Chains A and B, each alone.
Chain A
Amino acid sequence: MIPVEKKEIMYIDNIPVEIHGERNLLELIRKVGIILPTFCYHSELSIYGACRMCVVEDEKGRLEAACSTPPRAGMSIRTNTERLRHYRKVILELLLAHHCRDCTTCASNEKCKLQDLARTFHIAGVRFPNTAAKPKVDDSSLCIVMDHNKCILCGDCVRTCNEVQNVGAIDFAHRGSKMTISTAFNVPLAESPCVGCGQCVAACPTGALMVRNDVSKVSRAIANPDVTVSVQVAPAVRVGLGRSVGLKTGEEAMGKIVAALRRLGFDEVYDTSTGADLTVMEEADEFVQRLESGENLPMFTSCCPGWIQFAEKKYPEILPYISTCRSPMQMLAGVVKEQKKKTGKRHVHVGVMPCTAKKFEAARKEFRDEFGNPMTDYVLTTEELIRMIDEAGMVFSELEPEAVDSPLHEKSGAGVIFGVTGGVTEAVLRRISEDKTSSSLQRIAFSGVRGFEGLREATIMYKGREIRIAVVSGLANVSRLLEEWKAGFCKYDFVEVMACPGGCVLGGGQPFIHNEEKELRGKGLYKADKVCSIRRSEDNPLMQELYNGILKDKRHELLHVHYGEKAE
C-alpha cells in the first residue's frame, strides 16, 4: 500500500496553504505572495523579533510576530487588518520620531527601508518631536562610517557581525532609551576588532552604516591637469552593477565600465584580472614550493583584505601560513606605478573594487613606494562608481563597450573568476595542473571548487600526490576551520579564504541584492571566463613580457608582502 502523506494545512487571509517545514509564518506568508514588512528579519540570520512590523492576527485577535512564530496545522491568521495597519503605522511613526530625517542629504536616500516603508504606509507626518540626543558620527574607520542618528536598533548589523562573520566588533550597549549599537567601551570603530568587510553596511536597512565615500578625492585628482589618473577595475565589479544602471542582475559589463571610466576622465583604464594573473603565477609557484618542502601547509590565500585583518586581529598565529602574494589590486598597482615612474608626471592610481576593506588595504604601510606614496592612492567601491556615473548624467546601458588600455591589456579567464568564491583556487589549479587540455579545465571546474556553500572541499592529483583543498567564504566559516586547525584536525594543503559569503561578488561595496539573486553574479563571472580566448594565467602573453621586463629584479619587491612583520 502506498502510504498517504497527511497534508498539514493552515489559512493565511483565508487562503489554504500547505506547510512544508517552514521555520516560521513569515516564510510561509511570503510563499503565498504576500510581502510583510520587516526590518530585523534576514533569513540567513538568527531571529530577533525586535521590529514587530510583521505582526499578524489570529482568529481570536491575538497578535504574533510572524518571524518568530512557527506555522501550525489548522492555524488561521490575517496579515492585513485595520488593526495591524494601524500598529504598523504607529511603529513607523515612533521609529521616525527618533530618527534623523535629513533624507535628501542622506547617502542612503531612496535605498532606505525606513523611508520605503514610511512611503508604503502613507506616513504623512510625525506627531512626536525628536528628542533624541545627537551622537557624533564615527568616521574613524577607513572603510565604514557609523551614524547613530539613523539607527533604528534592528540589530541586523550586530547579528551579521557576530553570526555571519564572527568578528564581534559591535553589539547593543546600555538599555531602554539609552540603547545604542556600540563597540566594546565605545572605542572608535577603527580601534575595534572590525575588519572592514562591510557586510553590516549591506545588512543595514537605513543609512546608519555607510561605506566611506572617497569620490570627491578621486574627482579632484581627475580635475587636476598635472596629474595622470589611472584606474583598475576588479573582476566582481563588472557583474555587480546590475539593476542600478539598468542592466540585469549579474550581467557582465566590463566594456561599458571602461567606456564610463574614460568619460569620467580617467586617463588610463586597466583590468584587475591582469593583476590576478600575476597573483596566480606567484601563488601557484609558492604553493608548489611549499608542497615540495612540506613547510607551512596548509597555504592560505592572501587576496582578501578583510581576511588578512581578521587573521591579524584574531588569529595572528596563522600569519606564516598565509601566502606572501600581494592582492591582485596591489600587484597591478605596483606594475602600473613602476611603468609610470619614468614619465616624471604625478600619477594617481585608483582601484574600483567590490570591497570596503580594500580602502584599508590601500592605506597600509606595506604598500607604499620608496617615497611613502601608496601604490593604490584611492579605492572606490562599485556603489561609488555608480554614484559617479549617475552624477555625470550618463545613460550607462547605452554606452558602447570599450577595451582597456595597452600595454597591460591582456588577461585570462582565470583572472576573471577571482571575484567569486572558489575562483582563486580554480585559477591556481589551472596553473599547476600538468594536463593542459580543455577536458582538464572541465575536470577542475567540477572538482567541487565551484558552488555557493560556505565551506567546500575538493581533491586533485598533482604529481601523483593527492592535494586536499578547502574553499571557504564568510568569516564565521573561516573561524570554524581555524579552530579545527588549532586543535590539530586540519586536513588541507590549500585553503582559499574570502571574507564575504559568496566571495567578492557579494562584497560590502557592491549594490545590495536579494538572496535568490545572489548566485547570478558568480554565474556572470564564469560566463565571462568561458568567452576568454586565454583561460590560463600562464598563457597570458603579458606575463612573460612583465617577468622579463619590469619585474625582472623587482618580483619580490612588487609582488610579495609579509604581513606578520607589520609591527616594526
Chain B
Amino acid sequence: MVDMERVESIVEEYGGESRQVIAILQAIQEEYHYLPREIFTYLSKRLGISEAQIYSVATFYENFSLEPKGKYVIKVCDGTACHVRKSIPILQRLREQLGLSEQKITTDDLLFTVETVSCLGACGLAPVIMVNDVVHPAMTPDGAVELLEELRAGEVAPL
C-alpha cells in the first residue's frame, strides 16, 4: 500500500512544483524501491501535469522502475572490463537459478531482482556484482550461486 501522506510530504519538500518531478519521483522510488502506479494519478493532480507526461519521464530514465523490485537487487556489471572477464556467464547462471530473463527481472516472491549495469567503477575487481549496496568482487558463476544460497539462508536465519 502506498502511504499518500508520505508522498504528499515528499511533494511538499520540493515545493509542489512540476519542474521538480524527477526529484520527486526519485524520492518516491527511494521509499518504495519502485514507482507505484497510484502515485501517478496523485502527482498528476497535485503537480498539474498529465499522467502521460509523468509516465514519459519515468520511462525515459533507466533508473526508474515501474515494477516492484526484489528485496535483493543484484546488479551484474557488464562494463567493458567485467564483460571481457566473463560477466555474461554469471548473469546467465543467476537468471537460470532464479527463473528470470531479460524481460522478467524479479522473482515472484519479490526476493531477487537481477539487472545489468554498464559500469560500477570497480574495473580492477572485475567481474563485479553488487547486491543492494554491497560489492562482490572477482565473481564466478559458481560464486554467484553460493551467494544466492547465503542470501536465502539469511532470510530464514532470524527464525
Contact = CB atoms under 8 A, between A and B. Distances in A.
Interface of A: 162, 167-175, 182-185, 192-193
Nearest to A183: B52
B49 A168 contact: yes
A171 B52 contact: yes
A168 B59 contact: no
**Chain A interface mostly:** loop
A168 B60 contact: no
Contact of B53 (A168, A174, A192): A168
Given A184-B40, A185-B37, A172 B50 contact: no
A171 B55 contact: yes
7 contacts: A168-B49, A168-B52, A171-B56, A175-B60, A182-B56, A185-B66, A193-B52
Nearest to B48: A483
A181 to B, nearest CB: 9
A193 B45 CA distance: 13
Given A162-B50, A184-B51, 4 more contacts: A168-B49, A168-B51, A172-B60, A185-B55
B136 to A, nearest CB: 30
A175 B61 CA distance: 8
B54 interface: yes
A184 B54 contact: yes
Nearest to B41: A184
Interface in B57-89: 59-60, 66
A194 to B, nearest CB: 10
Interface string B33-46: 00001001000000
B49 to A, nearest CB: 7
Contacts of B50: 162, 167-169, 171, 184, 193
Given A184-B40, A185-B37, A170 B60 contact: no
Contacts of B66: 185
B21 to A, nearest CB: 12
> Which of B54, B55, B60 has its CB near the most chain A CB atoms (within 10 A)?
B55
A174 B52 contact: no
B2 to A, nearest CB: 15
Contacts of A173: 52, 55-56, 59-60
A184 B49 contact: no
A166 to B, nearest CB: 9
A182 B53 CA distance: 10
Contacts of B54: 184
A201 to B, nearest CB: 17
Contacts of A183: 52, 55
A178 to B, nearest CB: 9
Contacts of B60: 172-175
> Which of B37, B49, B50, B54 has its CB near the most chain A CB atoms (within 10 A)?
B50
Given A184-B40, A185-B37, A175 B59 contact: yes
Contacts of A185: 37, 40, 51, 55, 66
Contacts of A170: 52
A171 B37 contact: no
Contacts of A162: 50, 53
7 nearest interchain CB pairs? A168-B50, A184-B51, A171-B52, A171-B56, A184-B55, A184-B52, A173-B59
Given A184-B40, A185-B37, A172 B51 contact: no
> Which of B52, B55, B59, B66 has its CB near the most chain A CB atoms (within 10 A)?
B52
A45 B40 CA distance: 26
Nearest to B45: A314
A193 B54 CA distance: 14
B55 A182 contact: yes
A547 B73 CA distance: 72
A170 B54 CA distance: 11
A173 B54 CA distance: 9
A171 B56 CA distance: 6
A170 B59 CA distance: 13
Contact of A182 (B37, B49, B52): B52
Contacts of A167: 50
A173 B60 CA distance: 7
Nearest to B62: A175
A183 to B, nearest CB: 6
Contacts of B55: 171, 173, 182-185
A182 B50 CA distance: 12
Contact of B56 (A169, A172, A192, A193): A172
A114 to B, nearest CB: 23
A182 B51 CA distance: 11
A172 B49 CA distance: 14
